[in-house]
Each structure stands twice: as C-alpha cells, then as structure tokens.
Amino acid sequence: MHPLSGVYAAAVTPLKADFCPDLDAIPLLLDYLARRGCHGALLLGTTGEGPSFSPEEREQILRAGLQVRAAHPAFHLLAGTGTPSLSETALLTRRAFELGYDGVLVLPPYYYRQAKEEGLLAYFSALIRQAVPADGLLFIYHIPQLTGIPLSVGWLKRLQAAFPRQFAGIKDSSHDADFGRRLGEGFGEELGIFTGVDSFFLAALDLHAAGCITAPANLISPDLRRIWDARRAGEDAAALQARVSAIRNVLEKYPPFPPALKALFARQGAFPRWPVRPPLADLEADRTEQVAQELAEYGF
C-alpha cells in the first residue's frame, strides 16, 4: 500500500472575526477529524482557502497543525503549497518539509492557462529539484475546473519517469470518471491516486486508488472510513457508497464548500461559526437552514 493511503479531510481553516487564522482552533479541528476516522488531513487546499493566505500566514497555519501529533502521532499531514509563482511555491514547499509534513499537494501554476505541457514539466521539475528532499513526497492537485489546466496521463507518466521517488501521486478532483479510470489503468498502484470526489470513492478503490482527500470528509469521515474498512475486508460497500454519494450531491448544491461546511459545523455545535475570508462570503441563514434540512434525512 501507498505509505500515505487512507481517508483524508481537505480541512477547513478556522478563522477569527477579523479573518485572521484561529491558530488555537486548528489542532482542535484536526483532533476532531482524527477521532472520526480520518487517517490524515490536507491543510490549505481549496476547502482550506489556501490561495487566500500569505506565505507567513500559511506557515503559521502549518505550525499550528503539527500540534495534533501530540495526541495522534500517526495522523498524516499534507500541506497545500501551490501558487502561480515558482519561487513562492518552492519556499512554501521547503518550509512544509522542514516542519515535518508528510507530503505536499501542489496546484499547477493557475494563472497562465495556455501554458504548454513542456512549460508545466519544467515548472514541476524545477520545484522538485529546488524544494523536495530525496525522501519527500509531492502530489499534484488536479482540479482543472478551477485552475483551467487539465493534465494528461501521458504528461503524468513523463513526470513520474523523471522523478520516480519524489513524485508520489495525484489528487484528482476533476469530476471526470473516465479520467479516473485511465489513471487507475495507467498507473495501478505505482502512483498514489487519491480521489477528490466522494461519489467516486469505491470506484477509485476498485482501480487501486490509495484513498480519498475530500471536502465533505470534514463532516462524513466516519462514512468514508467505513467504506475504506469494508473494502479492505473484502466486504460489500455499495450501500455505504450510495449514502456518501447522496450526501455529496446535497452539498454540491451549495457551492463553494468552505462556507457551507463552516455553517454546518456551527449548526451541529461542533465548533463556533468560523467565517470565510473574502472574496468568499458566509452562507446565508436561509440557505444554511435549507441544507441542514436536506441533510437531516441522513442523520445530520
């Protein structure tokens, strides 16, 4: 199995009323996720509003996250470090490894959407050489609906051939089932493939995926863990997957995920009502009530 295989939450980032990171709340959130079945968490991904924070704020958030290991030493931590700037991405990536993070998840440089594959290969090659230690693990974050940069299986194979140790895998949030199938068929267990779409979890595991990294895992990690455990035990997980897919379908009606997830955390009494940082806006009261009513069918 991949050394970081399992169920991961793309964790929200707790904020104070002035939109500054609530550093004291971060380890509490990660402890909550660990106790609810997550093998690990991604900090500063899309759901964690990563692009909205400065490098200094990102380092503060990453440092705060390390505190979870006092109670959960085996809890894996991934850091979102991708920016459009190669130098800034290298700085953040080096710092994540220096702090002791298990791996980094890196977006393609998302401003120049017409960048050619050769340019993208040069970007990631330079990043790995500059910032990823020999035993470091770099994952690419494939979410073309936001970055505008779709990646091909052939391009991923070129990066793997160039850096077979450090290029460790991909989080595929493309919502493209055919691309997910081609990933599984093209790499099998040679690459750590994590689906970013809860609805595809069981299908991804059947194609040798290493696990999932998802936004809804903030709320439904026990369900995702049951699918993981059932699949590992050779048991039928179809009914569990149907429940997870139904919940995901509800949440997708209230995009983007950070405001909805933070509103639901507060409504359940798990945490205070953390704001989101502009340009995102908090979920309106009527929509919070609406999504809560829809999820009540599933025990939320």
Instruction: Enumerate the active-site residues.
Output: 46, 111, 141, 171
The dihedral built from the CA positions of residue 206, 207, 208 and 212, taken in this order, carries a sign that is negative
Residue 153 token pair: 């299986």
Residue 294 token pair: 């829809």
Write out the DSSP string of 50-107. Answer: GGGS-HHHHHHHHHHHGGGGGT-TT-EEEEE---S-HHHHHHHHHHHHHHT-SEEEE-
Write out the DSSP string of 134-189. Answer: TT--EEEEE-HHHHS----HHHHHHHHHH-TTTEEEEEE-S--HHHHHHHHHHHTT
Residue 259 token pair: 């405001």
Segments of 117-230 assigned E as strands: 138-142, 167-172, 192-195, 211-214
